[in-house]
Amino acid sequence: MTRYDKGSFYERQLKAMLEQKGFFVVRAAGSGVAGDAPDLIVLRSGKKFGVECKAWKESLFLDKPTVVAYREWEKTTGMPVYLAWKKPRKEWRFFSMVALRETKRGFAVGEKDYEAGMFFEDLLK
């Protein structure tokens, strides 16, 4: 399974989980390639947000232009963007863009941060 296949598998998994909770979810075409829109656009009356999905064993890293693009997307749409992290054999955890730790080359969420991430049910509130 390629990295792309693995990523799209987990995007589809999270999409299905959100749809089961009554959300309308769109996978953004070319997300991750252009880097200017999150992977999933999630909509329901009174609750709207974007999700950038990552299935990764260790710490996550996003470059500065990507985070700047997501923050612009938040301003333009009025919808927050969350980073969704799926570790092997663990549940999804979610992080707001402001929760990312700035580094010299970008933004990171470390392995220790994983436990502090929001649970799936918290994201839906």
CATH number at residue 34: 3.40.1350.10
**Collapsed DSSP state (helix, strand, coil) of residue 118:** strand
Which residues in the chain belong to E strands, given as ranges?
24-27, 40-44, 47-55, 60-63, 81-86, 92-96, 101-102, 106-109
Q: Please tell me the total count of domains within the chain.
A: 1
How many angstroms separate the CA atoms of 36 and 62, rounded? 12
Nearest to 9 by CA among 74, 86, 66: 86
Query: 0.85 exceeded by the pTM?
Result: yes
Full pLDDT tens readout for the chain, 125 residues:
665 566 688 999 999 999 999 999 999 865 555 557 899 999 999 999 999 999 988 889 999 999 999 999 999 999 999 999 999 999 999 999 999 999 998 999 998 899 999 999 999 98
Q: Look up residue 110 and give its amino acid.
A: G
Q: Which domain holds residue 85?
A: 3-124
Beta bridge partners of 98: none
The two structure tokens encoding residue 101: 């730790």
